[in-house]
Structure 1
Amino acid sequence: MDKINVLVIVTTISLFISLFLAFFLVTVKTKYKTSNYLFAAFLLINAIDLSHPLFDLIADGPSNLGMLRTTLAFLQIPVFYLYVLSVCYADFRFKPKYLLHLLPFLIANAALLPRFYLVDEAAKIDFIVNRQSRIELQFTHFLIFIQVVVYFVAVFMLLRKAKKLYLENYAGTGINAYHWLFQFTSVLAILYLTAILKNAFKFSDYPYISEWIRILILVLQLFIICWYLFKALNSPDLFRNIDSKLKLVAEIVSEKSSEHSMVDKKEYHEDLQKLQKYMVEEKPFLNPTLTIQEVSKYIKVPVRDLSLLINHQLGQHFYDFVNAYRIESAMDILKDPTKSRVTILEILYEVGFNSKSSFNTAFKKHTGNTPTAYRKSL
């Protein structure tokens, strides 16, 4: 089987899966419609980019439509960035300032106007044949390299902040979404950097290497899309967005220090007693989606002060603070000889976890043992 056939087969499969997943995301009933629409747009733009081998089969030669299809790659990363933003923050809305993300796409096409878009077919063919010496194409490849680096750095910074905000304010399994999004972004970053390497070989003395890298990218894209499809079908409610108005504790501490209005020791002690009494008597940690806002409302301590109390004064994330109570409750069940037949899975659901992996991780962090090993040691 020759290289062209491999390209066509892999491209056709990738296109079918991309379009199927995009259709699924647009039609599935969910409260996360904006996120789904954005990722569907990312998939569609990516599918257009993937269609290059099929487009070449039906195209007579270089055309304005073909070049426009190529430059649509400048919209992929910005749309993915907006997707991650919408996943992280519940109050995400489209704003006029997001139109600035179109700038690289517009700049690249403007650079191609004089010597490609506005010339005849013969000049277009000459432009492509001599592409290694065309400054416009070198510029667009350099521009997309800068775009990839800047946007992926921005996405990783966004995920880092969102994860920290989640840990400081929530105690559910939504943290797994940030772990998975980080993994997915890391794989995408590797894929795009490989694409940049492909472009570098295109302008070198070894252009054939670029073609083989293109096949590798197509295969990798196929696996990545299948991975996302598997995750989307098995965990449709994977993400729980956070409020973008929330501030990191470090920012609150900085503001408090500048205001010279830190909570005095007496007030801190009273709030701590109220919090501990509430956790012991009411057992709110049994709620797998408990938030710091819910605790604040019940014990009548402002969210800001409660966040400082737990995350700063006690030196724990709210996530770990709540999980400590859940683990203590699980340990009590494991110690009870009358409940020796209760399974680990039943216990984790009973104490407020709804993920075996997060329960095992939290239990080992708290006790140094796995739940099974702890039960055997009693």
Structure 2
Amino acid sequence: MGAFNGLLLSIYFAINAKKKIFTNYFLSLLLLVLSIRIIKSVFFYFNPNLSNIFIQIGLSACVLIGPFLFLYLKTYSEDEKPSWTKHVIPYLTILTILGFFYPYVEHRTIWSTWIIKAISAQWMIYIVLSFKSIHPVIQKIKGKENLRKIDIWVLSIYLGVTLIWLAYTTSAYTSYIAGALSFTFILYVNVLLLIFRASNGINFFQEKEKYKNKEIDEKTLELIGQKLSIIVEKELFLHPNFTLEEAAKELKVSKHLLSQYLNEILGKSFSNLIREYRVEKAKKLLETENNYTIESLGYDSGFSSKSTFFTAFKKTTGMTPAEYQKSYLK
């Protein structure tokens, strides 16, 4: 059922891709190779005598899971379409050569000992490379910002594929639980798709496309740049739970426009901007206040905990708050 639903989803997104939602081509292909891998696992589990050619096809499909995950997520994090040929063609060439000279049916030992391990390592490398694309979503979660539907979607795809890789990698110790996880992932994607499509009648798959194609005019750019100083002047960032929505309301601009300005013009997320403001405030307090604990100065700067204060300060300045204060006093 999971594999069948995965194939249906693959067809669905391929059709959507015809509507110029380019990223859906990669999503369709990702679900296709996942489904082929699941089909192989299901048949092998219930029929160990499965023809070796099907096993080879299923294992070979794993080679393309990582690249298609990477390409799909990358199209959401960057404006330019990634060069898919260098991530797909070389692997298809290698698979063709291996399948011809070292078919699974005649070289099971080589496949089991070396090729499967290489496939797993390659899949893992692409999972690591793909993390950069969802890092902004992680930052939003850390900054307690509201997530868009597309943020939830891409994070779910990333985590789902990662869990499936982990399950297959450890299947020797988990009684092949990967099949159940794969089915659960496909089912979850189905439910998520139905919920998002039904809510407000918005096609959330087009969110990124619309965001990319909407440019901010020069007058608006200048206006937002001037208004940003209000956050510093009023020290709104001192509120630990200060959100993007509250900032947009204070600056009298839309939340979407403010977010787009920060990402495209300043090259940072709202949480990163607020963190920078808080670190600057903390530096001033460390330079002038000697009768208070460093932890209390962190709270006075808008940080919600000692750990977040120390981590943010060290990341921004390269020194701990104590080291900074000591160097300044010298």
**Length-normalised TM-score, structure 2:** 0.57
Rounded to whole Å, the distance in 2 between the matches of 1:281 and 1:141 is 51
Task: Say whether the 8 Å CA contact 1:39–1:79 is kept in structure 2.
Answer: yes
Query: Shift of residue 75 of structure 1?
Result: 0.6
Rounded to whole Å, the distance in 1 between the matches of 2:99 and 2:248 is 69
- Structure 2 gaps of 5+ residues are 198-202, 213-224, 235-245, 280-301, 305-330
Q: 1:41 maps to which residue?
A: 29
Q: 2:229 is matched with which residue: 272, 282, 301?
A: 272
One-letter code aligned to 1:287: S
Distance change >3 Å, CA 180–CA 271, structure 1 → 2:
closer
Query: Shift of residue 288 of structure 1?
Result: 4.1
One-letter code aligned to 1:272: S
Task: Say whether the 8 Å CA contact 2:230–2:251 is kept in structure 1.
Answer: no
Task: Say whether the 8 Å CA contact 2:13–2:24 is kept in structure 1.
Answer: yes
The alignment partner of 1:159 has SS state of helix
Residue 196 in structure 1 maps to residue 177 in structure 2: no
Q: 1:233 maps to which residue?
A: 194
One-letter code aligned to 1:219: A
Rounded to whole Å, the distance in 2 between the matches of 1:15 and 1:271 is 50
Q: Deviations over 1:170-209 (max 9, x none)?
A: x9844564355335423431221221223xx4xxxxxxx7
Q: 2:39 is matched with which residue: 51, 64, 71?
A: 51
The alignment partner of 1:95 has SS state of coil
Structure 1 or 2, whichever has the larger Rg, is 1
Distance change >3 Å, CA 173–CA 88, structure 1 → 2:
farther
Rounded to whole Å, the distance in 2 between the matches of 1:14 and 1:136 is 26
Q: 1:7 maps to which residue?
A: none
Task: Say whether the 8 Å CA contact 2:30–2:69 is kept in structure 1.
Answer: yes
Rounded to whole Å, the distance in 1 between the matches of 2:228 and 2:3 is 57
Identity of aligned residues (%): 14
Q: 1:153 maps to which residue?
A: 128
Task: Say whether the 8 Å CA contact 1:74–1:144 is kept in structure 2.
Answer: yes
Q: 1:253 maps to which residue?
A: none
The alignment partner of 1:235 has SS state of helix
Query: Shift of residue 20 of structure 1?
Result: 2.3
Q: 2:64 maps to which residue?
A: 75
One-letter code aligned to 1:82: L
Rounded to whole Å, the distance in 1 between the matches of 2:248 and 2:193 is 38
Distance change >3 Å, CA 274–CA 186, structure 1 → 2:
closer
Moved over 6 A (4+): 29-32, 165-168, 268-271, 274-277, 279-282, 305-309
Task: Say whether the 8 Å CA contact 1:284–1:290 is kept in structure 2.
Answer: no
Q: 1:314 maps to which residue?
A: 277
**Length-normalised TM-score, structure 1:** 0.51
Rounded to whole Å, the distance in 2 between the matches of 1:147 and 1:67 is 17
Query: Shift of residue 305 of structure 1?
Result: 10
Residue 287 in structure 1 maps to residue 254 in structure 2: yes
Task: Say whether the 8 Å CA contact 2:39–2:58 is kept in structure 1.
Answer: no
The count of corresponding residues between Structure 1 and Structure 2 is 250
Task: Say whether the 8 Å CA contact 2:37–2:59 is kept in structure 1.
Answer: yes
Superposition CA RMSD, Å: 4.9
Write the mapping of 1:1-378 to structure 2, written as runs, cut at 5 A: 13-28=1-16, 33-52=21-40, 53-54=42-43, 61-63=51-53, 67-89=56-78, 91-95=79-83, 98-116=85-103, 124=105, 127=106, 131=108, 134-161=109-136, 164=139, 173-175=146-148, 177-178=150-151, 181-198=154-171, 201=172, 212-213=175-176, 216-236=177-197, 237-238=203-204, 240-241=207-208, 272=229, 285=252, 287-292=254-259, 303-304=265-266, 310-311=273-274, 314-315=277-278
Q: Which has the higher contact order (CA 8 A, sep 6+)?
A: 1
Query: Shift of residue 142 of structure 1?
Result: 1.5
Query: Shift of residue 78 of structure 1?
Result: 0.9
Rounded to whole Å, the distance in 1 between the matches of 2:180 and 2:92 is 26
Query: Shift of residue 73 of structure 1?
Result: 1.6
Q: Deviations over 1:124-160 (max 9, x none)?
A: 4xx26xx3xx234422112112112211111223311
Query: Shift of residue 224 of structure 1?
Result: 0.8
Rounded to whole Å, the distance in 2 between the matches of 1:270 and 1:173 is 22
Distance change >3 Å, CA 31–CA 291, structure 1 → 2:
farther
